[in-house]
Amino acid sequence: MDERFTRKERICIVGAGLVGSLLSIILGQRGYQVDLIEKRCDMRKEDIPGGRTIAMSLSHRGFEALSLVGLKDYIKQHTVAKSSRMVHLKDGTVHVQEYGRDGQAIHTINRKFINSALLDKAEATGNVNTYFESQCVNLNLDKQELELFNKQTGKCDFRQYDRIIGADGVFSKVANEIAKQEQANFERFSPEYGYKELVIPTDSENNWKLNNKVVHVWPQGHFNLVALPNTNKTFTCTLFLKLNGEISLNTLNDHKLIANFFNKHFPDVSRLIPNYCEQFMENPVSKIYSLKCAPWQYRNKVLLIGDACHAIAPFFAMGMNVGFEDCTVFESLITKLDGDLDKVFDEFSRVRKVDTDAIADLSLQNFTSLGTSDKSNYHLKWQINRLLWNKLNNDWMPLYPMIAFSSIPLAEVRRRSTLQAYLIDKIINEENPSEVTDQWIDYIHTKYIKDELEKKNAYTNGVLEA
C-alpha cells in the first residue's frame, strides 16, 4: 500500500451500485477506511436482479477504470463481444455497420454479475465495510452526518464521517441536499420517451436466435427496438417509445393493440418472442432521465459521482462507462494532488463536468440518429466517415469509435464530431455523390477537409490530440 495515502479518514459512499462500488475499491486499495451504504439487499445473496436493465454494454472507458483495480481481464471473460450494429429493415433485409475497425468491439455484461464482482473486490481490500438494507434518509451536510434507516430492524441511526460521497443514482438523496444550497442549479430532465424490456429466449436447441456478435437495431424513426446478446444466449430487447400519445408505451395496454403494433412495425418480433404480448403486459414501463447539475460538491467534504450528478439518456449505452471514467479521473486526481481529498473534491467537477455535459447532449442526439439508421443518407455518411478515418487516422475518427474506443475527453469528442458532421453535410450537399471511392475521398479531403483540420489543429495546439 502506498504510504502517502494511509490517512485514516473515514469516508462514507452512499450507493453500492456500479460506480459507488468501483470507487470504494479505489479508495480501499489506497488505504482509506470506507463504509459503503446500500438501501437494497445484498444482490449476491438474494435472488434479485441487479437493478434495472440486465444487459449492459462495456466499452473502452469502462475497461480502463476496471484495469485500475485489477478487474479488467476477469470481467472481460464474462462478456459477449459485439463488433457491429445490424440494422433490420422491414422487408427482412439487414445492413451491417461496424462499430470500429481491426476487431474493435463493445462487450455485453450482466449488470448483477459486474456489480457483484465489484462488491467482492471492495470487501477484499479489507478497508471497505458494506451495509445493505441501509437507506440514507437524511443528511446534514455541515456535520457530514447521515441518518440511516435499517430495513431489517426498522430503526434509524446516525453516523458521522470525515467525508461523504453520493453515488446514489439519478434520484440521489445527497444531490437533493446539495441542491437546496444557494445558487445550486439542478436540471433533472425526462425526455418524452421511455422504454420497456422484453427477452428473446434461446431456440429449441438452446442456441442464440440471432447473430450474437452484433447489436440488433430495428429503426422506426421516432421509436426503435434494440437487442443485446446476454451470456446465457438470450437477448435483452428494449423498445424505446413515447410514454404518452396515440402510439405510446402507456396506450399499448391490451393484447390486440400490442400485436397490431408489433406486426406493423417490428414483424420479426412474433417469430423471435412467442409470448411477446404477455411479456409486454407484465414488464414495467421505465422512464429515461438526464441530469445536469452544479455544484457537485459541498465545502470539499461532500461530493457526487456517477448518475447522481450526471445521469445520461441510454442512447449511446454509456452511463456506466462514463461513471467508471469518473473513477479513473478521481483516482488520477488523488495521485496528482498527493492524496489531499479537500483539493480532489474541489477539482473533480472542474475537470469532469464539461465532459459529462457533452456526453449527455450527444446521447440525446443519438436517439434521432438510431431512428434513421435505415436511411440511405445515413449509410452514405457512415461510409464517408469510415474512409476518411482510414485515410486520416486519429485526425478523423467517426463519433461512435471516439466515444466507445478512445479516451479522447468527451467535450473534445463533441467538438470534433460537430465539425466532422458539418463538413460531411456540406460535402453531400455540394457534391451529391452517387458512389464513394478512395479517389473521391482524396478529392474531398483536398477540397473540403485539409484546411479545416489544419485550422482545428492550430486552434487546439495539439494539446487535446488522442
Ligand X SMILES: Cc1cc2nc3c(=O)[nH]c(=O)nc-3n(C[C@H](O)[C@H](O)[C@H](O)COP(=O)(O)OP(=O)(O)OC[C@H]3O[C@@H](n4cnc5c(N)ncnc54)[C@H](O)[C@@H]3O)c2cc1C
Q: Binding residues for ligand X, per CB under 6 A?
A: 14-20, 37-40, 51-53, 56-57, 135-136, 167-169, 173, 195, 238, 306-308, 314, 317-321, 323
Distance CA 383, CA 380 (A): 5
| Smallest separation, CB 460 to ligand X (Å) | 27
| Smallest separation, CB 342 to ligand X (Å) | 23
Query: Residue 324 has which C-alpha cell?
Result: 467508471
Distance CA 49, CA 44 (A): 10
Distance CA 84, CA 291 (A): 29
| Smallest separation, CB 422 to ligand X (Å) | 28
306/371 with CB nearer ligand X: 306
Distance CA 367, CA 231 (A): 26
DSSP strands (E only) in 28-111: 33-37, 55-58, 80-82, 84-88, 94-98, 106-110
Using the Cα atoms of residue 223, residue 225, residue 228 and residue 232 in order, give the sign of their dihedral: positive
What would the DSSP string read from start to end of 203-248?
-TTS--SS-TTEEEEEE-SS-EEEEEE-TTS-EEEEEEEESSSSSS
Nearest to 125 by CA among 242, 32, 214, 238: 32
121/386 with CB nearer ligand X: 121
Residues in the chain, total: 466
68/428 with CB nearer ligand X: 68
Please say whether the beta carbons of 387 and 441 come within 8 A.
Answer: yes
173/414 with CB nearer ligand X: 173
Please say whether the beta carbons of 309 and 175 come within 8 A.
Answer: yes
| Smallest separation, CB 325 to ligand X (Å) | 10
| Smallest separation, CB 374 to ligand X (Å) | 22
266/324 with CB nearer ligand X: 324
Residue pointed to by grid coordinates 495546439: 461
| Smallest separation, CB 162 to ligand X (Å) | 19
49/274 with CB nearer ligand X: 49
194/339 with CB nearer ligand X: 194
308/388 with CB nearer ligand X: 308
Phi and psi, residue 237, nearest 5°: -110, 125
| Smallest separation, CB 7 to ligand X (Å) | 25
| Smallest separation, CB 9 to ligand X (Å) | 20
Q: How far is CA 51 from the centre of its chain?
A: 15
